[in-house]
Amino acid sequence: MNWTTLVSAEDLAAAYGDPSLVVVDCRHVLAGADPGAGERAWQVSHLPGAGHAHLDRDLSDHCKPASLGRHPLPEAADFRAVLVRLGITPASQVVAYDAGDGAMAAARFWWLLRLLGHRRVAVLDGGFARWTALGLPLETVPPTPKAGAYEGDFDMAQVAGTDEVRTRLHDAPGWLLDARAPERFRGEIEPLDPVAGHVPGARNRPYTDNLADGRFRAPGALRADFERLMGGRDPREVVLGCGSGVTACHNLLAMEHAGLAGARIHAASWSGWVSDASRPVATGA
């Protein structure tokens, strides 16, 4: 196993029994719904051996200020403690899954592990929904994880700060891609943040456009889409945002799956941007 972006349910099922495999359930419900729903779903049934990582508790640090967005990055030490609890070591082949498309919040877990330099981490394509549709095994009791151990720090060079975003406002469009739904990007609705709209100069790339029938589209199709949006840029010049730095990770995963490596996440994203009323806001397409 050397999965670094996506893995199919069939391939994962065939790999069970490999001692390096660690599976992590990241199911979560956003948008004002019950924040404990994903964890309770895990308690009811989950993939064999899968521990749970909670978006708010394990993959974010809500003690940090609003300027860092609705889902601020956790401290590296706190995230490493989560990895230890889940039985993950630097030698592990990790597979993260959520309810279906990877956006809530398997791709976020994938990105955080990559910030620590972990390469053998992938998202289950189609998630829990496809696994169960295929009739693959489930467990109903919490797993007993293997002993984990992890050292290291986040590579913050892979993270774009809000100050950098502000300095690039006059760059030609294509450097900043926003993963939110089109109506939120245009500023027609805003269910989560106090201001509607987008960062001036951003282009909209809804993360849902990465999918077909609940699974990621073919690499070639994804590559063509992103190259058209980037306007000839090297992926390393591209910054990915969303509402709070979670669904932006889905676009990063899609780009990596398409062979477009090196884009960075604006971790604070729109929610961090609008925490300062002096920053400009754009609406419309």
Close Cβ partners of 234 (under 8 Å, ≥ 6 residues apart):
262
Residues in the chain: 285
Residue 17 CA to residue 55 CA, distance in Å, equals 28
**249 classed as catalytic:** no
> In this structure, what token pair is assigned to residue 141?
């009791």
Beta carbons of 192 and 243 less than 8 angstroms apart: yes
Q: Where are the alpha helices (DSSP H) in 176-218?
A: 182-185
Close Cβ partners of 91 (under 8 Å, ≥ 6 residues apart):
20
Q: Where are the alpha helices (DSSP H) in 157-277?
A: 162-167, 182-185, 219-230, 248-257, 269-273
| Identified catalytic residue from 26, 63, 242, 249 | 242
Cα end-to-end span (Å), the chain? 42
What are the catalytic residues? 242
